[in-house]
Amino acid sequence: MMSNRKILNFIDGEYTEGTSGKSFEVINPVDGSISAVVTEASAADVDRAVTAARAALEGEWGQMAVKTRLDLLDAVADGIMAHQQDFIDAEISDTGKPYGQVAHMEIPRAADQFRVFLKIVAAGGKNEIIDTLLPDGGVAHNREFRKPKGVIAAVCPWNLPLVMATWKAAPALAWGNTMVLKPSEETPSTAALLGMVMNEAGIPKGVFNVVHGFGENSAGGFLVAHPGVDAINFTGETRTGEAIMKSSAVGLRDVSLELGGKNPCIVFADCNFAAAIEGIAKSCFFNCGQICLGTERLYVEQSIFDKFVVALKNAAESQTIGPAVGPTHQKKILSYYRLAEQEGATVVTGGGIPKVNEALVGGAWVQPTIWTGLPEKARLLKEEVFGPCCHIQPFVREEDAIRMANDSLYGLAACVWSGDEGKARRVAEALNVGVCWINGWMVRDLRTAFGGVGMSGIGREGGIYSMEFHTELKNICTIMSPATV
């Protein structure tokens, strides 16, 4: 089925075809039909977007009272919810996600992100003043002062399209920056709709821009290489993060990288077994496993290993999950399913494409999959699959579980399941990751730090940590003469 939905770039407050004359298709992963046609931004279009963002920064937006700015962002949050059905339809069409997940979690969360960050900005920074005693008896007052960083380039992945776009836009705009957003070529629809919401809320033209296209030699590459960009906020694959970091080195632009993971989960015999199975089934299979925080490596205490494998198999087989994001990613997941077998894994469940009804055979479906029996050095246990799958390894000693969990170049997230609070805390502290959940998964307070170590990224986002990236800290030093002290 050919779609007549057309998605345009959003530059300087207007939707535009741009100048490239090129377009590309978005595939609906449920059935393989074309869900939209997108205009690809040229280098000139990206330049116009960056120039518009700079002008807005130097114009009305930059001069605006902080209170007025935050009120406008509150209206953006309201606008997302007022148009929630449009956002839901667009997100489902691009990603094939289940309705409830998009309607009840992702779209409200996108609106919430604006509210959370505007409240943090309204609460103010710590504005420390340090007094320096001067030889003449006077004093110098050193005051912290923060300015917006400038024009932010945000480059986003496809797994949580609107959540990611607003996770970048909300702090950038709340701290007074302007921005150009490049959504994933696989899922451009909701970012495009955000332009309409910005206009309706009264955000000045040029503050928020969206350019569409691919990475290298396309909109993404043009954007991160643009000298008018002051900082780059990227979420995506580690390899892309490395390329973007190279771009950011030219002109010494700041960079925040939220990258891939190969997240471990350690399960002790003294855990609440039923709760662990329920939580781990979510951390492995939610969003078709396409979540950077998802679990792909399980380490389960030997004494409950067999019982655990059977219980997680049953949970996997009763999951209702959506498709992978598209045919390319489906192929990648299936190639890892083949690799697992080549490396000698025992397939506990899944390992292929599920049976679907005839109307859906063109879709990007994959089975929830569990393996056991691989040695720790297997490639499957080192590389991120980003699909609904996990490998389960037994362990006897706590230190062996920690060692295996830490034997990864990645370090994004981990989980520990145990009824012994002290042990769980000790293990959580020993794991080399940016976030570790004890007896749960994905509880996210947006005020807390978020990010990874090693190949999982550089920098922290969330709460006040987003302020560090989105502002430039200046010291204003006022020298007071002895007479005025």
- Residue ranges binding ligand NAD (CB under 6 A): 155-159, 182, 184-185, 214-216, 220-221, 224, 235-237, 240, 243-244, 258-261, 292, 384, 386, 412, 452, 457
Given 40, 91, 186, 258, the catalytic residue? 258
CB nearer ligand NAD, residue 128 or residue 445? 445
CB nearer ligand NAD, residue 158 or residue 286? 158
Q: In 276-289, which positions are buried (b, 16+ CB within 10 angstroms) versus exposed (e)?
A: bbebbbbbbbbbbb
Beta bridge partners of 369: 389
Given 292, 389, 390, 436, the catalytic residue? 292
* Residue 410 near residue 456, CB atoms below 8 Å: yes
**Cβ-Cβ contacts under 8 Å for 210 (sequence gap 6 or more):** 9, 10, 11, 49, 180, 181, 182, 183, 188, 191, 192, 194, 195
Q: Nearest distance from residue 236's CB to ligand NAD, in Å? A: 3
CB nearer ligand NAD, residue 232 or residue 405? 232
HEC string for 132-199: EECCCCCEEEEEEEEEECCEEEEECCCCCHHHHHHHHHHHHHHCCCEEEEECCCCCCHHHHHHHHHHH
Query: Coil, strand or helix: which one is 31?
Result: coil
CB nearer ligand NAD, residue 388 or residue 457? 457
CB nearer ligand NAD, residue 159 or residue 372? 159
Report which residue type is found at 204: P
Beta bridge partners of 25: 37
Q: Nearest distance from residue 1's CB to ligand NAD, in Å? A: 25
Cα distance between residue 125 and residue 318, in whole Å: 48
Q: Is the dihedral of CA 223, 229, 232, 235 positive or negative?
A: negative
Q: Nearest distance from residue 182's CB to ligand NAD, in Å? A: 5
CB nearer ligand NAD, residue 453 or residue 464? 453
Q: Nearest distance from residue 93's CB to ligand NAD, in Å? A: 17
Q: Nearest distance from residue 457's CB to ligand NAD, in Å? A: 6
Residue nearest to ligand NAD (CB): 215
Q: Nearest distance from residue 249's CB to ligand NAD, in Å? A: 13
CB nearer ligand NAD, residue 94 or residue 258? 258
**Cβ-Cβ contacts under 8 Å for 447 (sequence gap 6 or more):** 116, 120, 462, 463, 464
Is 292 in the active site?
yes
Is 258 in the active site?
yes
Q: Which two tokens stand for residue 68?
A: 């007025």
* Residue 371 near residue 331, CB atoms below 8 Å: no
* Residue 280 near residue 298, CB atoms below 8 Å: yes
Q: Nearest distance from residue 244's CB to ligand NAD, in Å? A: 5
Cα distance between residue 43 and residue 49, in whole Å: 10
Q: Which two tokens stand for residue 391?
A: 């490998």
Closest CA to 207 of 239, 170, 250, 259: 170
Active site residues: 258, 292
